[in-house]
Structure 1
Amino acid sequence: MKQQQHKIQLRQELLKKRRSLPQDIWREKSDRLCEKLQTLSLFIEAKTVLAYFSFRQEPDLSPLFTANRRWGFSRCVEKSLVWHRWRPGDPLQSGIYGIDEPFPDAPSLHPSQVDLILVPAVACDYQGYRLGYGGGFYDRLLASPQWSKIPTVGVIFDFAHLPQLPVEPWDKRLQAVCTETSTFLY
């Protein structure tokens, strides 16, 4: 119970700090993070990448969304993430949490088609564990056998890269973490 309270408090503090970033600083940090990500071999070698649309001042990955690779984005369906192919210019809708997502009739993506998952996070630690938003969507995804073998990269700003996070038995370690100044492999 004490660990849960710590996670809730830490999540609130970090989200508040992220939301307080001035727009120009957020844009600069996001652009620098995209540049760093493009130097990571996991990203360079990936043909199909699962990503996210920035929400509540998450690092914005949209400069990466070009036609030179296939992109997948999720829709929240009940307690799961369902992944769909998306191309720049394809229409989007606002999902249940207010996050942009593909329409349900967009082509589905099967785990066998995916080379890399860019994972949004509130924070990541030096061991490669992440603090999510509390809904468990990515925890369930990364724990499922068909998705668990796909490389993952946590995407955060430097201030959210912490020495240690509270870790639960179901938490899965990421293969890498990328910030606006560094990439870390685990």
Structure 2
Amino acid sequence: MSYYLNVDNRQLNKAELRRTLLKARQSMPIWEWREKSDRICTQLQTSILLTQARTVLAYFSFRQEPDISPLFANTNCRWGFPRCVGKSLYWHSWEPNDALQIGAYGIPEPHANAPQINPAKVDLVLIPSVACDYQGYRLGYGGGYYDRLLSSPEWAEKLTIGIVFDFAYLSQIPIESWDKPLQAIVTETNLTYKG
């Protein structure tokens, strides 16, 4: 089964588009979500962008985002995950046996005392997305956490990959002046590098 949106995304504002895509994502049967998530993991596992990275920042799946947790068994790299503190993301090391806590938005995150990751050491950031477009722009949940992160000088040049299902990889999404394009987008059928 495939999901096709009967909307013209150019006619929708960000909030309407976000609502429509989240509804479509959450209506996906669990077996299909798992299968498509596994295909995204395969795309990443075979990508030089991941295989050459030593420190990778990622996310724990929430609200039926693509689940990339099978990647976390890769011990060739150091994994980092965000903690939301105020309006900022702080990145902490995490290993599969480390405990997690539930953060302010109901998202699993490392404990505050987990080692913090220095931005200078980061090679790759895997970014959860509600949608991405062919130009590399991302639609998130609307909190601006990743926009603020990627606008700061120490993060601006990091290699970033947006993670979405095919139905949320769109020709164009509404953008604002502060939006920063990502360098690559991965779906269950393709990894597109923007350069």
TM-score (norm 1): 0.96
Please state whether the residue corresponding to 2:83 is helix, strand or coil. Answer: strand
| Gapped regions of structure 1 (runs ≥ 5) | none
Superposed CA RMSD in Å reads: 1.0
The number of equivalent residue pairs is 183
Please state whether the residue corresponding to 2:82 is helix, strand or coil. Answer: strand
1:32 is aligned to 2:39? yes
Hey, what does 1:117 align to over in structure 2?
Answer: 125
CA distance in 1, matches of 2:91, 2:35: 29
1:169-184 map, 5 Å: 169-184=177-192
Please state whether the residue corresponding to 2:13 is helix, strand or coil. Answer: helix
Hey, what does 1:43 align to over in structure 2?
Answer: 50
| Gapped regions of structure 2 (runs ≥ 5) | 1-9
Question: Which among 73, 89, 92 is matched to residue 81 of structure 1?
Answer: 89
CA distance in 2, matches of 1:171, 1:39: 29
1:62 is aligned to 2:73? no
Match of 1:123, as an amino acid? A
How far the C-alpha of 1:42 sits from its partner, in A, is 1.3
* Cα deviations by residue, 1:27-78 (Å, 9 ceiling, x for unpaired): 0000000000112221111011000000000000110001221100000000
- State, as a whole percentage, how many aligned pairs show the same letter: 62
CA distance in 2, matches of 1:39, 1:123: 23
CA distance in 1, matches of 2:76, 2:30: 28
Question: Which among 148, 158, 162 is matched to residue 154 of structure 1?
Answer: 162
CA distance in 2, matches of 1:69, 1:63: 14
CA distance in 2, matches of 1:163, 1:97: 30
Please state whether the residue corresponding to 1:34 is helix, strand or coil. Answer: helix
Hey, what does 1:92 align to over in structure 2?
Answer: 100
Hey, what does 2:4 align to over in structure 1?
Answer: none
Match of 2:46, as an amino acid? T
1:6 is aligned to 2:13? yes
1:166 is aligned to 2:174? yes
TM-score (norm 2): 0.92
CA distance in 2, matches of 1:39, 1:143: 29
Match of 1:31, as an amino acid? D
CA distance in 2, matches of 1:42, 1:36: 10
Match of 1:114, as an amino acid? V
